[in-house]
Amino acid sequence: MKSEIYESLSVINQATEQMVRHVQRLRDLAILTPGFAEIRRLTAEQLRAQINHKVIMTMAEAETQSASLLGKLKTAEEKKLAGEEEG
């Protein structure tokens, strides 16, 4: 599940970059006015930033919990292994 989350975030970021690039192209071709294009670019960038923030904050909490649990499991396994080597 974790890799799917990070993959989705990556795709959203790439798609936003593509959209911004094409809006700028349409502006450069005089299809979109500069003001219209800039508002849409800022809207897309804002949406990307909001999604990134929410995902990162949510994942930071999950990663912290995961790291703590895995650290405890590792310590227990190391103690078990040390006991087997002594015995």
pLDDT score of 86 more than 90: no
pLDDT (tens digit, 9 = 90+) per residue, 20-70?
Answer: 999 999 999 999 999 999 999 999 999 999 999 999 999 999 899 999 999
Question: Confidence class of residue 17 from pLDDT cuts 50, 70 and 90?
Answer: very high
pTM of the full predicted structure? 0.77
If you search the block for the tokens 């006015």, which residue do you land on? Answer: 33
What percent helix, strand, coil does the chain show, rounded to 5? 90, 0, 10
Give the up-direction half-sphere exposure of residue 12: CA atoms within 13 A in the CB hemisphere.
17
CA dihedral 78, 83, 85, 87 (to 10 degrees): -170
Interior angle at CA 38, CA 21 and CA 13, nearest 5: 45
